[in-house]
Structure 1
């Protein structure tokens, strides 16, 4: 471990501590899923990245409400373990695993094809899977791995399942973003791994900004269909999203997190709110903060012309399939 990395990023350490304090304040007064009487019997929900962390607790909540829950995961062993755990804790046997690697457009298309063959409805789609801190890697589709995983893969997945979702209306699409989107920038060469700084969470921040931009444009296109699309900030959460960071930063993050950060269960609250709360019925094209309140995202995320351009570029990049 190169300990000098700490001194190269003192601002990151300070900002992390300050954000931790803010999140601690936000942990109180949030909407309580256990107090929500929403029932999902007869409803079908898909949650990506549901074998661990926030995604697993989202799937667990849906299963408790009686939904037919599909865990969309990359790891068969971890996904199978999550299915077993959720079934045992909820008594709901209608919880299943479907494998998908959202960084691969081929894998996403194969997953979507199977869902369309097997399922007659899809009422809730939660795009939760994400990575942060990856070094530069390119997919076989010529895309930056982080952008493929966090944005373009979920973008394709949503579009390929969109007709099924519309057929199932009223339905909801929830895209898990981050407060870090405010530090993101829009440069379409990023999609191909160009002009990127792979230091810490910088690439992650860009991807989370694109999540919100395209969610807003999707919501506009879905007006009048009975399908809502919203982006959500789960807060600063103790999850495995930082597993690719240097050891020191992971240790620092976990140490601070013991006192200030949200648990994965707490981080799942705002995505669950978007997916099931009566208060969110008919609400679309919004950014929901970690305390379940509607907030304005960064200015770039509110630019409608940029949203159209971003969406169209993402369509072109994924249309080869």
Structure 2
């Protein structure tokens, strides 16, 4: 979903009442996750601590719990047929947590237990740095 994200630095807390607005907000949050991990990896360089952004795939969880009834009627049967189980969805996260030899990929995006190149707007280091700085201000931390 990061592919559809677009960051509006003037309004990072997008409200989402309609299903379309909620999907836009979700996409933006996924893009922010990818960019934030890129910048976090820069801050962790030389510490032997690594970080990765992970796409678990479509996972059949409680993701539909806040959707309207009619949307649920359409999506829940599809989820049962085509989505991964939570255990299957966790595999890439587990891989990144325990796999030796992937340290050189810190800050990168993984899907299906493999590093994957993200689209250019999710590799923008200037935007990642700005997101980091704004996040620090929002939580009351100073840049070091």
- Quickly name the TM-score band, shorter chain normalised: 0.7 to 0.9
TM-score (norm 2): 0.87
Aligned match for 2:45, one of 223, 229, 243: 223
Distance in 1 of aligned mates of 2:53 and 2:62: 21
Aligned positions, number: 139
**Alignment partner of 1:250 out of 72, 80, 93:** 72
Deviations 1:278-309 (A, max 9, x none): 243443011001x1111112221101111111
C-alpha distance 282-296 of structure 1, shift in aligned 2 (>3 A): closer
1:210 equivalent in alignment to 2:12? no
> Partners in 2 of 1:253 and 1:217 — Cα distance?
35
- 1:278 aligns with 100
Structure 1 runs (4+) greater than 3 angstroms displaced: none
Counterpart-to-counterpart distance in 1, 2:81 and 2:60: 11
- Asked which structure has the greater CA Rg, the reply is 1
Larger RCO, structure (CA 8 Å, separation 6 or more): 2
Higher strand content, 1 or 2: 1
TM-score (norm 1): 0.41
> Is it true that 1:269 corresponds to 2:108 in the alignment?
no
Whether 1:236 and 2:68 are equivalent positions in the alignment is: no
Q: Quick one: structure 1 residues 259 and 193, their matched pair in 2 at CA, closer, same or farther if it must change by over 3 Å?
A: closer
CA distance in 2, matches of 1:246, 1:279: 44
SS in 2 for 1:188: coil
Matching residue of 2:7: 186
Unpaired stretches in structure 2, ≥5 consecutive residues = none
Q: Equivalent residues in 2 for 1:4-15 (5 A)?
A: none
Question: Partner of 1:131 in structure 2?
Answer: none
TM-superposed deviation, 1:244: 1.0
2:110 counterpart residue number: 288
Tell me the SS of whatever aligns to 2:35.
helix
Equivalent-residue separation in structure 2 for 1:295 and 1:272 (angstroms): 16
**What CA distance in whole angstroms lies between the structure 2 residues aligned with 1:279 and 1:263?**
27
CA distance in 2 between partners of 1:300 and 1:274 (Å): 23
How much has 1:197 moved relative to structure 2? 7.1
Deviations 1:228-278 (A, max 9, x none): 011000000101122111122223222012221101111011111111122
CA contact under 8 A between 2:14 and 2:25: conserved in structure 1?
A: no
Structure 2 matches for 1:1-321, cutoff 5 A? 180-193=1-14, 198=18, 199=20, 200-289=22-111, 291-319=112-140
How far 1:213 sits from its partner (Å)?
Answer: 0.4
Please give the root-mean-square deviation of Cα atoms over the aligned residues, in Å: 1.8
State the alpha-carbon separation in 2 of the partners of residues 275 and 281 from structure 1. 10
